[in-house]
Every structure is written in structure tokens, then in C-alpha cells.
Amino acid sequence: MASGGFRIYRSAIPGAQPVESDSRRVFPRHTHEEFGIGVICRGAQRSLSGRGMVEAGAGDVITVNPGEVHDGAPIGDAGRAWRIIYLEPRLIAAAARDIAEGRPDDYEIHQPVIRDVALARQLLNLFAVLARPDATAASLHGEQLLLDLVHRTLHRRPESARPSVPKGISAAKDLIDSDAARAVTLAELARASGLSRFQVLRGFARATGLTPHAYLVQRRVGLARRLIARGTRLSEAALASGFADQSHMTRTFVRAYGVTPRAFADAVA
């Protein structure tokens, strides 16, 4: 296991990233731009998800949707171990189109914890295939397992369940999303939204689960991850995504993903 109790593997399928953890780390509230589907291999954890507070133990499948605010803490002193696969939305969208015979739609994983022995076994099998050194030999098998996994875990999101963000807060989000690397003030967000600073602060947290600053940081770490995946040097990625320097980016990246930007870069190179 790599330093810090996390190991990220080079994957047989681009866009599907296997990560292994054995740690007592407590994760603060954060988001990912990817789907995450994993298995608790040892121990247990308690976490907040966009679908409520949940607990998961050994053998349980754990999931997270893109943009879903979540955290995580071990139950007990021994920590917990998991194997998880982060799946880029484009990969899920392509699989979903195949499954739905070309019909576009919006998909999500409904359950944050799934107790299904067969599904857990299938997921661990996919993890092992993706993490094989011989990516060429593993890719076809991995594609088959991945397609079946998407079929079993993702469901069409009904219109009534799709998040509705108030117009003013949506305008404030759009201002951050348009250029996450730019420094922005609460006063600017207030002007964009037509609300007071306090209304923005309260409304943003209610709508997104994060304060405006925490949301900005998540957008920056997501931008840094994309830049690094495209081969951008770490120091350049840090500055281009709005961090003060590379060490600042590294601290934030580790809090979100458990691995360093360097480890991530080595896995996707």
C-alpha cells in the first residue's frame, strides 16, 4: 500500500480509475466529478451522502454520484479498507446509451450503500481486471464487466428528483463555474445573484451542501485533476487552477482524493 494508506492504479480502461485504501483518514465534506463505486473490504465507516447519513461495513458496496456532497469517517479505531473505481461521466454516458439503445437520459446511482454479495464480487473482479499490468489483455474483459456493472447499478433519474437550484443561487454558481481559477468575492456573488451576501451564503449552502468558498475549492481541485490527466506539469496545473502554489494544490488534492497529484499523474500517464 502506498504512503498514507492509498494506492491509485494505472487502469486498463481510460476514464475508469481504481483506487485502494486502508486508512483511518477522516474525509471532510467534498465532491467528485466522477461516479464512485467501491466495496468495503475491512472495517466500517459512517458517511454523509446526498441521500442521507449511512453506515457501511465489510462486504457492502458504497457509491457516490458526480457532484454529490459526502464525507467519511471510520467506525472504530482500526480504520477501514476499500477498493473503489472512479468512473468519468462520459464513460457512464456511453455505457448508458448502449444499454438504452441510443436514447439519451440522465442517470444516477440511487443507493449510497448496497448490500449485495454478487454485486460486490463483480466489482472486485472488475477492480482486479482494471489494475492488471497488461492493460491490452484486460481491456475487453473490463469493458464487459463495466457495462454489466452500469446496467446493474445506475437508474434513470426521474424529472421530479432532478435538483432545482433557485435562480439567484444558480447565477452565483455559474459565476464560479465560468472560471474557477479566478478569485471571487462574496460581494461579486451577491451582485450576480441579486441577493445580499448573507442570502447568498445561506442559500448556496442550502442548495449545494457547501459554502461558496468550499464549492470554489472543489471546482479548483476538479480542474487541477483534469489538467494533470491531460499531462500538464504539476506546478503549472496548480497555478492554472487557482491555487497559490503546488503545495497548496497537493494538500487540497489529498483531502479530496486521498492520493497526491504526483501519484495520480503517474497512474494516468
pLDDT at 178: 96
Provide the residue-wise pLDDT of the chain in tens; the chain has 269 residues. 554 689 999 888 889 999 999 999 999 999 999 999 999 999 999 999 988 899 999 999 999 999 999 999 999 999 999 999 999 999 988 888 887 765 656 778 989 999 999 999 999 999 999 988 665 656 778 888 888 998 889 887 665 555 678 999 999 999 999 999 999 999 999 999 999 999 999 999 999 999 999 999 999 999 999 999 999 999 999 999 999 999 999 999 998 888 999 999 999 87
The helix, strand and coil proportions of the chain, stated in percent and rounded to the nearest 5, come to: 45, 25, 30
12 and 125, same structural domain?
yes
119 and 76, same structural domain?
yes
33 contacts: CB under 8 Å, gap ≥ 6: 66, 67, 88, 89, 222, 225, 226
202 and 94, same structural domain?
no
Q: Which of 116, 139, 160 is the last residue of a domain?
A: 160
Give how many domains the chain has, as a whole number.
2
Q: Look up the CATH number of the domain holding residue 15.
A: 2.60.120.10
194 and 125, same structural domain?
no
For residue 112, the enclosing domain spans 3-160
56 and 125, same structural domain?
yes
Q: Look up the CATH number of the domain holding residue 264.
A: 1.10.10.60
pLDDT at 159: 56
Beta-bridge mates of residue 189: none
pLDDT at 42: 97
> Would you say 168 and 193 are in contact if contact means Cβ atoms under 8 Å apart?
yes
Q: Which of 160, 187, 208 is the last residue of a domain?
A: 160
CA distance linking residue 38 with residue 40, whole number of Å = 7
Q: Which of 129, 160, 191 is the last residue of a domain?
A: 160
134 and 176, same structural domain?
no
pTM of this structure: 0.87
pLDDT at 3: 46
> Would you say 179 and 241 are in contact if contact means Cβ atoms under 8 Å apart?
no
CA distance linking residue 52 with residue 45, whole number of Å = 14
